[in-house]
Amino acid sequence: MKTLRLGLIALSAAAAAALSPAQAGTMILGGYPSQLMVIDEAKGSITQEVDLKTGLPVSMRLSDDGKLLYATTITTSGIEVLDVATRKIVNSFSLNTPAVRYRFSGGVPDPTGRYFYILGTRIDKGIDAFRISKPQFMVVDLQTKQVVKTAELEPDDQKFGARGGLMLSPDGKTLYAFRDKILVVNTADLKTVDHFDLSKPEYPGMQDVSFGGGVGRLQTPGQFVSLFETEDPYIHNKTFGVARLDLDTRKFTFTPIGPSPKALSGLEVSPDGKYGYTVAVTGELGSQRCEFWRFDLGSNKALDKSEFQCRRRFYFGMSGNGQKLYIYGAGFDVAVYDAKTLKPEGAWELTHDITMSGMVITR
């Protein structure tokens, strides 16, 4: 009877947290050991599991038209392409060979869908040792399934390693790498042509997932809107604010909001573009405080905040209609919060441990 009672409580919580069918979208999450979990937001449950032949997913990225999802895997350095409408894998391959391996955490497709840009390292197996390259930009031909072009990062940019989210301009001519500074790269020769002195905030747990779904380019094509940090050159105090980057003209504006907390996630934007949400973490392990922060993007002002239960490692997302906020990762559940009240509504129990690949919402 106790087991039945607990089960009914869990079902009631999931039902309360689910969206109505008219409002709901489809959520896609990566799962251990090699799955993509397709979740109906209306039901709060998995409707399909897609097996990935190349291994554990570590990043996901939607094409600009929302028709294809690109997943990268760490097990064999693979790239898999999912048709969003049919939920079928239409392209799947590994870059690794017996003599050469690659390491990268994500990438971005070009507007034609032919090429895929990544930032990573190449590892060559020699007779007596493995030789690891310096961090480099790479272009993968999705038809020939090979790396067709590479270029090492400039010496001053290599200290940050092969990490950072990537974005492409709509015309495919400019690549942006979000690291300790924003690198502006010419895709014709993969040479860095400019730097912006802004950095992405550190994300609780893992930073890479904040670019998984192209967050920030949902409302205005050709623009990227997110939270960034800047640091003064004298006493090195960090300030966070909202930055708007035009991916075609390379122009950006930055509006400071306040002192940076210990950790700050990326920005989730409501469908109407009026409100932005982030997660802030303060304090040390054992006494951490985790909060939702809500912003008015019209005035770039903080509106309110609300504390929620911390996890040792977690990620942050938003429903397709902007009415729900999600906390997930390092476990089998997705915690659901109301975006207006910032209060908890329930949790969805899944079938696989959630990976660091981020969250993608489709219709």
Whole-model pTM: value is 0.86
Q: What is the pLDDT of residue 18?
A: 61
Q: What is the pLDDT of residue 230?
A: 78
Q: What is the pLDDT of residue 88?
A: 97
Using H for helix, E for strand and C for coil, what is the string for the chain?
CHHHHHHHHHHHHHHHHCCCCCCCCEEEEEECCCEEEEEECCCCEEEEEEECCCCCEEEEEECCCCCEEEEEECCCCEEEEEECCCCEEEEEEECCCCCEEEEEEEEEECCCCCEEEEEEEEEEECCCCEEECCCEEEEEECCCCEEEEEEECCHHHHHHCCCCEEEECCCCCEEEEECCCEEEEECCCCEEEEEECCECCCCCCCCHHHHCCCCCCCCCCCEEEEEEEEECCCCCCEEEEEEEEECCCCCEEEEEEEECCCEECCCEECCCCCEEEEEEEECCCCCCEEEEEEEECCCCEEEEEEEECCCCCCEEEECCCCCEEEEECCCCEEEEEECCCCCEEEEEECCCCEEEEEEEEEC
Q: What is the pLDDT of residue 21?
A: 53
Q: What is the pLDDT of residue 17?
A: 58
Q: What is the pLDDT of residue 196?
A: 81
Domain with CATH 2.130.10.10 in the chain: 52-196
List per-residue pLDDT tens for the chain, 363 residues long.
333 233 333 333 444 456 655 567 899 999 999 999 999 999 999 999 999 999 999 999 999 888 999 999 999 999 999 999 999 999 999 999 999 999 998 899 999 999 999 999 999 999 899 999 999 999 999 999 999 999 999 988 887 777 778 889 989 999 998 877 888 999 999 999 988 876 655 444 323 323 323 334 335 667 787 777 777 777 778 888 888 888 888 887 888 888 888 787 778 888 888 898 989 888 877 788 999 999 898 888 889 999 999 888 888 899 989 999 999 987 899 999 999 999 999 999 999 999 988 899 987
- Classified by CATH at the fold level, domain 52-196 comes out as Methylamine Dehydrogenase; Chain H (2.130.10)
Q: What is the pLDDT of residue 185?
A: 95
